[in-house]
Amino acid sequence: MKLCIVGIGGCGGHLAERFLNNQDISLLKKSLGEHVSFGGVKGLWLEADVQETENQDFFGPLERGCYPGFFVPHDVIGSESKTSKLIVDRYGYDVKKQGFMRQAEFLKAVFEIFESDEDVKRTALSEHESENPILRAAWDRIRPYTTLTGPRDNNNGSEMCDGILFLVSLGGGTGTGFVNPITRYIRSERPAYPVFVLGVLTEEGTDPQQRAKEAKRDLGATISLYDLLTKRVGVGVDGVIVIDNQIMVEKFGQNYPAIDDYIHQAMKPFVAARHYPGEDPPSLAMREKFIEGQGLDHPPILVPCYFRDRRRKDPEENLVKKALSEGMLFGCDPAMAERAYVFTRGFVGLDKILGAVARQTGLAEDRIEPWRKLGENHADEILILLRNPYGEERGCEVKGNLEYRIHRVIRMALRYMDDPESNLIPDGMPDLTKTSLEDYFYGDDGVRDRLKVGLQRIEEGKKPFFLDERRIFERSNLNSGVLEPHRGGRKVDDEEIRRLVEEEVKRVLAERGL
Amino acid sequence: MNGLNETVASAQAVDISSPSGLVPEGLTSFLADVYSNGLLGLGLFLLLLALGLALHGLNMKRTYERVAATTNGGEVSRDDLREEMFVRQGSNFNAAAVTGWLLLFVALSYFYFLTPEIFPRYNYYQVPTLASGPLGFFAFGFVVLLLALGAAAFVPREFYGYYELSRRMKVAIMLTGPVLAISILLSVQQGTTFPQVEPASRLLAFLALFASELALLWPIYAEALGGMR
C-alpha cells in the first residue's frame, strides 16, 4: 500500500508537510535529487486561500513544476468567467472568494451548484471543457501521483500511490468544505479506488489557529462529518480517521507544530513501507477489509490508538494495552469497536498481537486485521484503528467516549444554528439561495431536524448516528434531482470497471505468485 | 631524516598540549603516539572498517532471526526480507556518502603515504616520476580515488539502504566530505612543507580522518549497539 497524501486547507497543509517532508539531505534547502518522503508517499496541498500559500515556503506552485506543490483549485475560474458570473448572479456565491469564509456550507453549496444546475454545467462545459472545473482541476493534480495514470512502478524505484489519504481539519473552512465534493468527484470516476480521510476535530473553546468560535467550527465539523458519514459504502470514502485536537491540546498545549509532528508519528505505522515479507497488501485489498462485514452501509469512523516503546522482549501485550489506554487520539470505548486494524512497526508476533488485541477489546480474532512492518531506532510501535467504537446506550453521558464528544459537537452546532447572530442565511443573497439555505438548515427534515435525530440515536446507542445525505439545493426548482457522474472527464461504464478490477486482481495475484 | 621528523613532531606535540593548547597533554601525547605509529593507525583504521562490516552482517542476521522468530512457521525468504528492508535514502545522500567514502581512502593515503615521516619505505616520495611531476599530489590522490571507487559506489546500496537513517545522521555523513577535505588539505600542506612538520595540523588531519570514519560507520554501530540491549 502506498498512499497519496492530499492536505486540504490550512490544517491539512501543515500535516501534509510532515508527511511529505524530504528524507534526503539538501544544501541550502535545495535538493538536487528526487524528493524522498517517509514511506515513499507522494502528495500535494490544496488550498483556497492564496495568502496562506504565500506565508509558507515548503510547498511551491504546482504550475511551476514544484514538488511538493500546492494548488489553488478555484484559480482555474478566471475573473471574467461566464460560469462565475452565472453563479454569482443566480446564487450570490463568489467561487473565487479567498478562504471560503471558514464556512463548510459555502463550499458545499458551490459544488452542489456545479453538480445540479444544468445551466451552470453547460456554461462550465463550454468554457472549461468540464462541468465542474474546480474539482476537475484538483483531481487532475492528484491523479498523476496515483496508479490510475500508469504502472505501479515508474521504473526508477519510485512507486505510484494506490490509494489516497486526505488530511483535513473538521471545523475549518477549506478542508471541511472541500473533502466531500472532491471525494464524490473521484468516486464518480473511480468507484473502487481506496480513499481515506484523516480529520482533525478542532478543540473545545477558543482556537487561536481557526479564529472562530467553537460553535461555528462545530457546525462546520458536523456538516462535514454528516456528509462524509452518510454516503453509501462505495460512494463515499472508505474510512474517516478522526483525531480530537482537544486530546492533543491537553497533551501538548497549544504547540500546534508539536501536535502535527505527533499526528504524523502516530500515522507512521499506517503509511510506512518496510513490510514483513508477504504482508504488503495493495490498498484495494486493504479497502475491502475496512468496509467488509454485514450491516456496514456507511463509511466507518476509525479511531486511531497509538503507542511507541523502546524495543523489548515480547512487547505485544504492553503495546496494545498502552495504545488502548493512554494512546487514543479520539476518546472512545474500545470494547464497542466492530473491528480493529492493527499496524505495527518492530518485531511483533502475529499470534501474540492478535491475542493481545482480542483480550483488550473483546473482539473475536477474525475481526482483527494485523499488518506488520519493520521498525526503526530500536523501538516498537503500534497503531490500532478501531472501527466504529461507539453505540452504547447513554454512552454520551460518559466523558471520554466517542459519543460524548460527538454529542457535544452536534449540540454546539445546533446552538450555533439557533443563534440569531449566526447569520446562516445572509442578507443580500438571491431568494433562491436564501430559500434553499432556509430549507437546508431549518426546513422540514432539514439539517436541524436530522441532527436532532442524530443526537437521539447517539443517546439510544444506535449505529450509525447519521442516516441520509442532505443537500442544500435538493428541493430547488433548478435541481435536476439526480447527481450524475461528472462529464468532461472520461465516463466509465460498468463493463470497463469490471475489466479494470479483474486486471488489477490478476496483477496482484501474479505479483504474489498465486 | 626520519629521526629528525620524529624529534620535530614530539616538540610540536608538547607545544599544542600547553595550557592554551587544543587538547589535554596526556591525550595529545597519546594521539601523537597513535598517529605517528603507522602500523597502529592503519590497524585501527582497518579494525574499525572490519568491525563495521562484521556488525553489518550481524545486524542483517539479527533482523532475519527476529523476523523469522515472529513469523508463523519461522520461514522467511532472505531475498524477500532484504527487498522489504531496503529504504531509498535519496540521491543527495547517496552522492554525499559515496564522496565521503572516496575521500576517506584518499585522506588515509595522504595522511600515511604522502610523506616519508610515518612509512619511510612506502610513500609517495618513493616514486620519483610522481613526486617530481607538476601534478604529483593530484595524480597520487586520483589513483587512490580510482582504486576506491568500486568499494565506495557499493556502500550506499549495500550498507545504508538497510538502515532507517535520521536526517541528523545523514547530515553527519554528508559533513564527512568537507571534514575529510580538510584532512586532505592538511596532509597536502605537510607534503608541501616536508621535511618541516607541523604537529598541530598533523593531529587535526588525523582526528578528521578517524572522526569521519566513525561517522560513516555509525549507523551500523548504532544499530548493533541498540540491538544488544
**What confidence tens digit (pLDDT) does each residue in A421-447 have?**
888 888 889 999 999 999 999 999 899
Q: How many residues does chain B have?
A: 229
**What confidence tens digit (pLDDT) does each residue in A180-189 have?**
888 888 888 8
Return the pLDDT at A447: 94
Dihedral sign of CA atoms A328, A238, A373, B166 in order? negative
Mean pLDDT of A108-127: 90
Return the pLDDT at B5: 44
C-alpha cell at A38: 517517509
Instruction: Test B70 with A36 for CB contact under 8 angstroms.
Output: no
Looking at the complex, report in whole angstroms how far the Cα of residue B180 sits from the nearest Cα belonging to chain A.
18
Q: In what order do the strands lie in the sheet with A69-71?
A: A60-61, A69-71, A42-46, A3-8, A163-170, A195-201, A239-244, A301-310, A379-387, A339-345, A368-373
Confidence of residue A486 (pLDDT cuts 50, 70, 90): very low
Mean pLDDT of A107-117: 88
Neighbours of A465 (CB within 10 A): 28
Confidence of residue A74 (pLDDT cuts 50, 70, 90): confident
Return the pLDDT at A421: 85
Residues of chain B neighbouring A311 (CB-CB closer than 8 A): 226, 229
Residue A341 pLDDT > 70, yes or no? Answer: yes
Return the pLDDT at A153: 54
Q: How many residues does chain A have?
A: 514
| Contact by Cβ (8 Å): A42, A4 | yes
Mutation for testing the A interface, residue in B84, B85, B99, B162 having most A CBs under 10 Å: B84
* Terminal-to-terminal C-alpha distance of chain A: 18
- Which residue in the set B84, B87, B92 is minimally distant from A277, CB to CB? B84
- CA–CA dist B203, B205 (Å, integer): 5
Confidence of residue A376 (pLDDT cuts 50, 70, 90): confident
Contacts of B41 (CB under 8 A, 6+ apart): B34, B35, B111, B112, B118, B206
Return the pLDDT at A101: 56
C-alpha cell at A145: 501521483
Is residue B72 within 8 angstroms of chain A, CB to CB? yes
**What confidence tens digit (pLDDT) does each residue in A153-207 have?**
554 455 789 899 999 999 877 877 788 888 888 888 888 889 999 999 988 887 6
- CA–CA dist B109, A257 (Å, integer): 47
Return the pLDDT at A423: 85
C-alpha cell at A476: 430547488
Residue A87 pLDDT > 50, yes or no? Answer: yes
Mean pLDDT of A9-24: 94
Mean pLDDT of A26-39: 81
- Which residue in the set B70, B84, B167 is minimally distant from A23, CB to CB? B167
Return the pLDDT at B148: 85
**What confidence tens digit (pLDDT) does each residue in A249-303 have?**
999 998 999 999 999 999 999 999 899 998 887 778 888 888 887 677 889 999 9
B62 to chain A: nearest residue by CA? A347
| Contact by Cβ (8 Å): A325, A361 | no
Return the pLDDT at A479: 54
Partner residues linked to A385 by β-bridges = A304, A341
Confidence of residue B221 (pLDDT cuts 50, 70, 90): very high
Residue B7 pLDDT > 60, yes or no? Answer: no
Return the pLDDT at B193: 85
DSSP, res A465: S
Mean pLDDT of B185-210: 88
Residue B192 pLDDT > 80, yes or no? Answer: yes
**What confidence tens digit (pLDDT) does each residue in B17-73 have?**
444 455 677 777 777 777 778 888 899 999 999 999 999 999 999 999 999 998 877
| Residue reference for cell 473533502 | A179
Confidence of residue A214 (pLDDT cuts 50, 70, 90): confident
- CA–CA dist A264, A269 (Å, integer): 10
Instruction: Test B80 with A278 for CB contact under 8 angstroms.
Output: yes
Residue B9 pLDDT > 60, yes or no? Answer: no
Percent above pLDDT 70 for chain A:
90
Lowest mean pLDDT among A374-383, A439-448, B13-22: B13-22
Return the pLDDT at B38: 81
Mean pLDDT of A472-501: 61
Percent above pLDDT 70 for chain B:
88
Residue B4 pLDDT > 70, yes or no? Answer: no
H/E stretch holding A199: strand A195-201
Instruction: Identify which has the larger pLDDT, A209 or A146.
Output: A146
